[in-house]
Structure 1
Amino acid sequence: MSLKKQFELLATYNQWMNSKVYVAAGQLSATDLAKDRGAFFGSILGTLNHILVGDTIWLKRFATHPSCLNSLRVVADLQSPTSLGQILFDDLGRLSEQRIWLDRQIINWIAELSEGDLDFVLSYHNTKGISAQKRYSSMVLHFFNHQTHHRGQVSTLLSQAGVDIGVTDLLAQIPDETHV
């Protein structure tokens, strides 16, 4: 399977898992969602916001790739987050709407990438202003890994709150292969 196909799989997995997480989170009250549970970003709501913040920051960086100027134009126009812990939306409904929209943008962006696009060297500045030049494909992999890392934290927080989100393995999204 090509690297692009792997990223397409990760994009659909991201969308599927976000849907599951938000449905599960919807079973909790606003108070329970905002309760500080000792996670990196405090609460379930704080962690879900952080994932959206991280995705926005990275997608705005990815939008500087010459072949992504159109596919990520609407994301590039979003207001830049001011901190990694910024609460973009303080209610789950509005946060969920933005998440659904952003997941669609991610799927469309990945679909439009070519294998050659993945060899590009991305120049950017991190949130502390430090310059970096890294291979685009490696940064896309980091992007999806970051989401998975923090969704795992949300899964744990939901479990501690008595909510089971069910199967979370990427394996559930990998199609069976038939032998020819």
Structure 2
Amino acid sequence: MIDAEYTRIMARYNAWQNRQLSDIVHAMDEDALTQDRGAFFGSIFATLNHLLWADKLWMSRFDPSVEPPQVPAANHGNMTPTISVWGAERFHLDGKIRHWSMALRNLDLKGDLHWYSATADAQMSRPKAECIMHFFNHQTHHRGQIHAMLTAAGETAPVSDLVFLPEGF
């Protein structure tokens, strides 16, 4: 399905995309970031927080050294109080994702991942490789929403094509 190299490429891509978004959103004013733009989570900032929250949750399932988010699912859109706090937490987590991917071996992708889902209120079990693919796909999906909201806000959204991922990133 996937191999460890896939996770390394996607971890680099994730960090690159978040770095570009961070540069843009740090230059925006709070009203522009928190304005309801009709997206699933409403605003750019709430969507950024949702993505950070979900990434922490999934990483805590993949890597026991990563703590799950400390806010409940119902409050994930308000996970961080400011864009600066979001930026620091995002940068830290992206480093953890890259470190995890670098240590991953193909053998680590085999078998099932088991967890309790509060959203589904059920014990879950899925192939590890499928969960990892979901993790990276979920990031790309919500960054696409952020991209559209930035464009609608009159901002120049970043390049998001994987083929343009800088070699040294």
* Mapping of residues 95-134 of structure 1, within 5 Å: 95-128=86-119, 129-134=121-126
Aligned residues of 1:54 and 1:84 also touching (Cα < 8 A): no
Pairwise CA RMSD of aligned residues? 1.6
Where does structure 2 lack aligned partners over 5 or more consecutive residues? Answer: none
Distance (Å, rounded) in 2 between the aligned partners of 1:79 and 1:169: 29
Deviation at 1:7, TM superposition (A): 1.0
TM-score, normalised with respect to structure 1: 0.85
Aligned residues of 2:112 and 2:126 also touching (Cα < 8 A): yes
Distance (Å, rounded) in 1 between the aligned partners of 2:31 and 2:102: 38
Letter in 1 for 2:155: V
Most deviating of 22-31 and 136-145: 22-31
TM-score, normalised with respect to structure 2: 0.91
Matched, 1:146 2:124: no
Aligned residues of 2:33 and 2:43 also touching (Cα < 8 A): yes
Percent identical residues: 32
Residues 32-72 of structure 1: per-residue CA shift (max 9 Å, x gap): 10111111111000000000011111111223xxxxx4xxx
Tell me which stretches of 4 or more aligned residues in structure 1 moved more than 6 Å.
none
1:80 pairs with one of 66, 70, 73: 70
Where does structure 1 lack aligned partners over 5 or more consecutive residues? Answer: 64-68, 176-180
Aligned residues of 1:49 and 1:85 also touching (Cα < 8 A): no
The residue that corresponds to 2:34 in the other structure is 34
Residues 129-168 of structure 1: per-residue CA shift (max 9 Å, x gap): 2111111111011000000000000010001111112311
The residue that corresponds to 1:61 in the other structure is 61
How many residue pairs match? The answer is 164
The residue that corresponds to 1:168 in the other structure is 160
Distance (Å, rounded) in 1 between the aligned partners of 2:166 and 2:23: 22
Larger Rg: 1
